Amino acid sequence: MILDALGNASTYEKLHSSFSRAFAWLASYDPTTPDGRYAISDDSLIAIVQRYDTAPAESKKWETHRVHGDIQYLVEGAERIGYAERATLTVKTPYNPEKDAEFYQAPTGSSTLLELNAGSFAIFLPWDGHQPGVMIDSPATVHKVVIKFRW
């Protein structure tokens, strides 16, 4: 897991062959882009634009992926994202290969709450359990882009 500001993205471009294209796309992102899925290159690099309201942690799902990692970039607003290693989580909904997602019960051991603000991003790899969309003090609308990259 990595948490940083988009201005520092070049630091991470060598970590994955898709990162330079992903971060270039984010750097030129137009905030008026409608919600939806956008192919950045081929099926291995997809941007998902979304606007939603954050909510209490109890109502948000913990998840991991097996095929894709996420770059979660916050365009507007602020949210918390829970983080825990997959090995410490208990499966609630088994892996669905069509959605590339497995869901978990809330961790009973250690976990971390990350705070994303406008202009910041988090990178989650397949073994990184994460719980996006958690409110900070009260529900708020966020504008986010999630880039799915093939791991």
Residue 38, phi then psi, degrees to nearest 5: -135, 125
What pTM, to 2 d.p., does this model score? Answer: 0.96
Selection from 143, 28, 26 nearest residue 76 by Cα: 143
Say what the pLDDT of residue 42 is. 76
In this predicted model, what pLDDT tens digit does every residue of 114-125 receive, in sequence order? 999 999 999 999
CA 109 – CA 51 distance, rounded (Å): 31
- Domains in the chain (CATH in brackets) are 2-150 (2.60.120.370)
Please report which confidence band the pLDDT of residue 109 belongs to, taking 50, 70 and 90 as the band edges: confident
Distance of alpha carbon 60 from the chain centroid: 13
Say what the pLDDT of residue 33 is. 98
In this predicted model, what pLDDT tens digit does every residue of 29-50 receive, in sequence order? 999 999 999 999 877 899 999 9
In this predicted model, what pLDDT tens digit does every residue of 50-89 receive, in sequence order? 999 999 999 999 999 999 999 999 999 999 999 999 999 9
